[in-house]
Amino acid sequence: MIALLLRDLRLSVRAGGGFGLGLAFFLIVTALVPFGVGPEAAILAPIAPGILWVGALLACLLSLDRIFQLDFEDGTLDLLATAPIPMEGAVVMKAVAHWLTTGLPLVIAAPVFGGLLNMPPEGFLWIMGSLALGTPALSMIGAFGAALTVGLKRGGLLLSLLVLPLYIPTLIFGAEAAARGMAGFEAMTPMLMVAGITLGSIALLPFAAAAALRINLR
Amino acid sequence: MDDARIKQGRDGWNWLWAWANPVKFMEISGWLLPWATGIAVVTLAVGLVWGFFFTPEAARFGSSVKIIYVHVPTAMMAINIWVMMLVASLIWLIRRHHVSALAAKAAALVGVVMTLAALITGAVWGQPMWGTWWAWDPRLTSFLVLFLFYLGYMALWAAIEDPDTAADLTSVLAIVGSVFALLSRYAVNFWNQGLHQGASLSLDAEENVSDVYWQPLVICLVGFVALFVALLLVRTRTEVRKRRLHALQMRERMADA
């Protein structure tokens, strides 16, 4: 399983697929917002956590169809299905690889982009924390969506449509936690909810995703 | 003895599982369909006419209050149809009865129309009541999420060619989607507590509505349930026939080759 993880990471870095793409998209979203709503700090600062969360979510969405598609096309997925590791484990590793290449860079870069949006420094830790807790759930949910649509020719848009409603709870709690933390309010409750969604997703969705993959490989 | 008991248990449920046999299903549903349609037409006609023309206008809301006869039943059905699809999906995954999967597929379109109707009638009602077509209120938002779920479900059905694969995948989606739909419900509650929640929206039939409106509303509720049953039967029968037609075409093609 570790070998699978390392392979996926190496592929995404070397083959020019995905790594950095999410980050670039994140930059585009954050850079466009001030042009859209105006550069006043008084407007930008309060909405910064929400913008960063929406940006992170869209960046995740952009790279989802990479999770299984290439492996499905070149037959690696069939080999994985017959490999001695359970399908669920392979799904988790795929999601982890996706998170390491998409989610983690977003978490680390969040303060920089927060600075672009005039986010006060008190909010940096909160946005990093909420993203760090929430993006694994985005990757896991995305892996489930990708597993559902892996056999389809043009599954990209459908994948977005399927995953979008599933992302909403994570987005609401994540953005709420960051916004409350930045404003100095009690933010532990939404933070714990995000953690709960992430843990629940990691506990349950691998089974659903593996089931979907098996059906698609049948 | 155990075998006997199991057999007896199974026989006890035979009336239900008989629906799973397509031939039996066509038989039973063909008999049931005119009844469901009749009940739907009669109750809807009585309920809506009574509601629209023979109830007084509410002092505070004026005549716009009468939209509850469409709004409340469609909203109720929007949720219940998803639950029905969830149950049908589970039956398909566990016992692999094709009619069950087809019924879930058939229900989705009715469900999405009900959700849309609830959203639109809500907007039409909300405009004079709150002065806005749309508010990011927990109930409204969760219905929008439900609408997205229906769209995704139907899109997935439409995107996959092999019917059994499609049934499997949409069933998995229905189950996961239900969990997240529940989660969304609580999430939006939390997210926007007490910002927009207009009092008129908590117009729960049992609590706020006086008797004058209550009786036609119940009739309308029954009417919408019957309407759903009728539409579901029609659409499921169509799906079964489509499947048969497909099988016949395949057989013909095989014979030609």
Residues B102, B242 contacting (CB under 8 angstroms): no
Count of beta carbons in the 10 Å neighbourhood of residue A84: 5
pTM of the model: 0.85
What does the alpha-carbon distance between residue A193 and residue B188 come to, in Å, rounded to a whole number? 13
Chain B residues with CB inside 8 Å of A166's CB? 176-177, 180
Residue type, B46: V
The residue in chain B having the minimum alpha-carbon distance to the alpha carbon of residue A208 is: B172
The larger pLDDT score, comparing residue A30 to residue B213, is at A30
Extended strands (E) in B3-153: none
Placement of tokens 């049992």 in the chain:
B206
Tell me the per-residue pLDDT of B182-222, one tens digit each, with 9 for 90 and over: 888 777 777 765 444 444 444 444 445 556 677 788 888 89
Tell me the per-residue pLDDT of A137-180, one tens digit each, with 9 for 90 and over: 999 999 999 999 887 877 778 898 899 999 999 998 999 888 88
Of the candidates B110, B49, B56, B105, the residue with the CA atom closest to the CA atom of residue B79 = B110
Count of beta carbons in the 10 Å neighbourhood of residue B234: 16
Chain A residues with CB inside 8 Å of B191's CB? 172-173, 176
B7: Cα separation from own chain's centroid: 34
Residues A54, A117 contacting (CB under 8 angstroms): no
* 3-class DSSP state of B62: strand
CA distance A160 to chain B (A): 9
Chain A touched by B90 (CB under 8 Å):
no
Helix (H) or strand (E) holding B70: helix B68-95
Residues in a beta bridge with B58 = B62
ipTM passes above 0.90: no
Residues whose CB falls within 8 Å of the CB of residue B204, separated by 6 or more in sequence, listed in order: none
The residue in chain B having the minimum alpha-carbon distance to the alpha carbon of residue A206 is: B176
Query: Please, what is the end-to-end C-alpha distance for chain A in angstroms?
Result: 23
CB half-sphere exposure, A214, CA atoms < 13 A: 13
CA distance B29 to chain A (A): 31
Put simply, the answer to whether B155 touches A197 (Cβ < 8 Å) is no
What does the alpha-carbon distance between residue A53 and residue A157 come to, in Å, rounded to a whole number? 21
Chain A touched by B182 (CB under 8 Å):
no
Is 60 exceeded by the pLDDT of residue B179?
Answer: yes
What does the alpha-carbon distance between residue B187 and residue B46 come to, in Å, rounded to a whole number? 39
Put simply, the answer to whether B155 touches A148 (Cβ < 8 Å) is no
Chain B residues with CB inside 8 Å of A204's CB? 179
- pLDDT value of residue A37: 86
Q: What are the residues of chain A with a beta carbon less than 8 Å away from any beta carbon of chain B?
A: 144, 148-149, 151-152, 155, 158, 161-162, 164-166, 168-169, 172-173, 176, 189-190, 193, 197, 204-205, 208, 211-212, 215-216, 218
The size of chain A, in residues, is 218
Residues whose CB falls within 8 Å of the CB of residue B1, separated by 6 or more in sequence, listed in order: none
